């Protein structure tokens, strides 16, 4: 086996074989650090940015990952009478639908239930779901998405 140094105090001689020892370090150094976890915060309703899309008004409250890397996304929405925010759909992440006021007809896998203010729906991964404001007043609700859409 060839010596790496000719004599004490001299420069180290490296061959191409030795370069391979550094590959794991080099591959890691180019990887971006994971994003910082969501920090504790308080959110005033009047400070939340408003986004309008047709008859839906939404306010993004938080979006990011917990300290364990679990994705969460929370928004509050206002939906006009007789309207749906989107067509029935399904996705990998779970959702909690928390009705603040008004009335929503929530359909999960073809079964519809009428929910009033204070009610909650849990929408499991892969279940086809949607909702419609079935009242004559604006419905206000929160959607808490849990996880991401990578299986």
- Predicted confidence band at 32 (pLDDT cuts at 50, 70, 90)? low
Q: Tell me, what's the pLDDT at 36?
A: 81
User: Tokens at residue 67, please?
Assistant: 């300290």
Q: Which domains does the chain have, with CATH numbers?
A: 45-146 (2.60.120.10)
Task: Say how far apart CA 101 and CA 118 lie, in whole Å.
Answer: 7
Angle at 60 between CA 107 and CA 133, to 5 degrees: 30
Q: Tell me, what's the pLDDT at 149?
A: 83
- Which is nearest to 106 in space by CA: 137, 141, 72, 74? 141
Burial 98-113 (b: 16+ CB within 10 A, else e): bbeebbbebbbeeeee
Residue 25 has pLDDT above 90, yes or no: no
Residue 27 has pLDDT above 90, yes or no: no
Work out the mean pLDDT of the chain and round it to a whole number. 85
Q: Tell me, what's the pLDDT at 7?
A: 52
Residue 15 has pLDDT above 90, yes or no: no
Residue 135 has pLDDT above 50, yes or no: yes
- Choice among 14-28, 68-82, 103-117 with the minimum mean pLDDT: 14-28
Q: Tell me, what's the pLDDT at 18?
A: 53
Question: Can you say how many angstroms the Cα of residue 95 is from the centroid of all Cα atoms in its chain?
Answer: 10
pLDDT digits (tens, 9 = 90+) for 76-127: 999 999 999 999 999 999 999 999 999 999 999 999 999 999 999 999 999 9
State the pTM of this model.
0.75
């Amino acid at each position: 086996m060839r010596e790496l140094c000719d004599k004490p105090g001299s420069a180290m001689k490296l061959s191409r074989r030795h370069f391979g020892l550094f590959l794991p370090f080099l591959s890691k150094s180019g990887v971006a650090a994971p994003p910082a976890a969501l920090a504790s915060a308080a959110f005033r309703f009047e400070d939340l940015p408003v986004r309008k899309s047709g008859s839906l008004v939404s306010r993004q409250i938080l979006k990011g990952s917990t300290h364990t890397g679990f994705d969460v996304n929370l928004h509050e929405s206002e939906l006009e009478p007789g309207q749906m925010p989107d067509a029935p759909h399904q996705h990998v992440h779970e959702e909690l639908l928390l009705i603040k006021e008004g009335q929503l007809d929530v359909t999960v896998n073809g079964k519809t239930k009428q929910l009033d203010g204070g009610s909650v729906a849990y929408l499991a991964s892969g279940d086809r779901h949607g909702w419609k404001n079935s009242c004559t007043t604006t419905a206000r609700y929160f959607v808490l998405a849990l996880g991401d859409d990578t299986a």
